Structure 1
Amino acid sequence: MSIHLENFKNNLKLRLDDNPQLHGFQTFKKTLERDYFSEVSIRICFKEAAKTENLVIEMDCNLDLLEMLYHLQKGTWGGNLSEEEDLPPNSSFARALDQLQELNEISIDVEEFSLFLNDCSIIVKKIYSNSIKDQLGSILSTIAEHYVYFTKGLSETPFEIYVPVFEDTIPENDYTLSKIREADNQTKDYFGFWGLYFDSEDDAVIYDLSNKSIVSGDLYLLNH
């Protein structure tokens, strides 16, 4: 099933609560706004009988993708960490989330993280418990490392990057795509294949990180 933009948007219909009742919520929100130069919206993803408050976080940042990556690598976006801290790049997000968790008895996780830049949106989906908190910094750093490749040699910036994607129906004789047979909910899945949307393409395309190339194939996205 090939995922067109409109179908993709329809797959993201969540039951959301715009008024999270969490201790320290406003401090958490303000920390993200300060460290990421963004206007931040945070909602709760409602799930039946859930024992975890699953957050849907959206950041609206007035930077282009390349500008954001520049500040990320300089350490001036996402909060500065001292050299003594043994944390991956851009861990201000994880640190703020840990502080929020300390103030609340119920478990808190992030269901979906969206970063809306001037020319590109980055959507990251939860694939296991605390996956976004643990891997967001590494995902953003990997976007920087692969920028020249997924922009087609700097010729076109995708207007949306979706992390991660998995293959739905794979031709038996296609070796490249046969590596995406199933999601197994491990860290490596964030760094296998991403979905990209370009103005020049009618449908989403797959970016293969291991081969630093764009491949064709049918996508399946993580739905609720």
Structure 2
Amino acid sequence: MRTAIKISYYGEPEEGFNISEFKGLTEFKNDLDEDYYAFIQKKTDGYGAGFYELAVEILSDLNLQQFIEFIGTGIAYDVLKSGTENIILKPFLKAYKKLKRKNRSIDIQELKFSFKDSTITIYKIYENSIFGELENILLGLSINYTNLYLKSGEKPFELNIPIFKNPNESNGIKYRCLLSVDETIQNINKEDYFIYWGAYYQFKGWFHVFDYKKQELTNEFYYTEELYLEKVKAE
């Protein structure tokens, strides 16, 4: 079974209910079609606000444990350095580089891996942050995966990378994901990918904060952007 990839982005509304495209979008789609079941969705907010970044979802028939083992063999390095024919990442990264050369403003806002048993979502925290730090994030995941198990043996159903301490613990929230708009956290850099991660466990029904530096799963609760906005709205 081939890996599937879904990419969405916002474009400017045009006459005839059309949506503007990036330069080389058709070629980008054709490149992806060679190795993936590829879907590209164009959206618009109706206000002509211009382009936004790409939201990328890679859907694989692997489970997360298999992916971790795959990374542990060192193939993660090869994928990023074009030394393997594996289709999970290499073709997308190659096609994205080509698209980036034609559209310097393009960036990846969110990269999600959807496996049979779990999902991993990596968020942009500064310009080109996902592309620049992906290899280190994946290797960090390989090293720390067993540290993400609950004492009951349950494995994470969702991982959010990274999460942050909420400034002044506003709204009674100590840890959360970054917000898409009106973000107050400042001075973000690549080190923030390796401070706190978020892990959700579906059987326990709870969100836990993983302290990356201590390699320790804490009992602290974190809020996704959706949960954060719901809480703020309710207050």
Please classify the TM superposition score into its range, dividing by the shorter chain length. 0.5 to 0.7
> Does the Cα contact within 8 Å between 1:43 and 1:56 map onto a contact in 2?
no
Stretch of structure 1 that moved more, 153-162 or 126-135:
153-162
Matched, 1:64 2:67: no
Please name the residue that 1:4 is paired with: none
Matches within 5 A, 1:162-181: 162-168=160-166
Q: 2:193 aligns with which of 183, 187, 190?
A: 190
* Residues 11-53 of structure 1: per-residue CA shift (max 9 Å, x gap): xxx9856x77234435545656777xx6454446768776654
Task: Give the root-mean-square deviation of aligned CA atoms.
Answer: 3.8
Give the Cα separation in 2 of the matches to 1:66 and 1:20: 40
Please name the residue that 1:147 is paired with: 145
Alignment gaps of 5+ in structure 1: 1-13, 84-89, 172-176
> Does the Cα contact within 8 Å between 2:9 and 2:55 map onto a contact in 1?
no
Give the Cα separation in 2 of the matches to 1:184 and 1:204: 26
Please name the residue that 1:87 is paired with: none
Q: 2:218 aligns with which of 194, 215, 219?
A: 215
Please name the residue that 1:206 is paired with: 209
* Bigger relative CO (Cα 8 Å, ≥ 6 apart): 1
Amino acid at match of 1:191: F
Give the Cα separation in 1 of the matches to 2:75 and 2:198: 27
* Residues 174-218 of structure 1: per-residue CA shift (max 9 Å, x gap): xxx8xxxx5631101111111101123232110111111111234
Alignment gaps of 5+ in structure 2: 1-7, 12-18, 84-88, 170-174, 176-184, 230-235
Q: 1:116 aligns with which of 114, 124, 133?
A: 114
The 3 A distance-change label for structure 1 pair 155 and 32 is farther
Please name the residue that 1:22 is paired with: 22
Structure with larger Rg:
2
Give the Cα separation in 1 of the matches to 2:191 and 2:43: 25
Matches within 5 A, 1:11-90: 16=10, 21-29=21-29, 39-43=37-41, 53-74=52-73, 79=79, 81=81
User: 1:64: how far off?
Assistant: 0.6
The 3 A distance-change label for structure 1 pair 218 and 69 is closer
> Does the Cα contact within 8 Å between 2:117 and 2:157 map onto a contact in 1?
yes
User: 1:135: how far off?
Assistant: 1.2
Q: How many pairs align?
A: 195
Give the Cα separation in 2 of the matches to 1:63 and 1:143: 16
The 3 A distance-change label for structure 1 pair 118 and 165 is same
Amino acid at match of 2:71: L
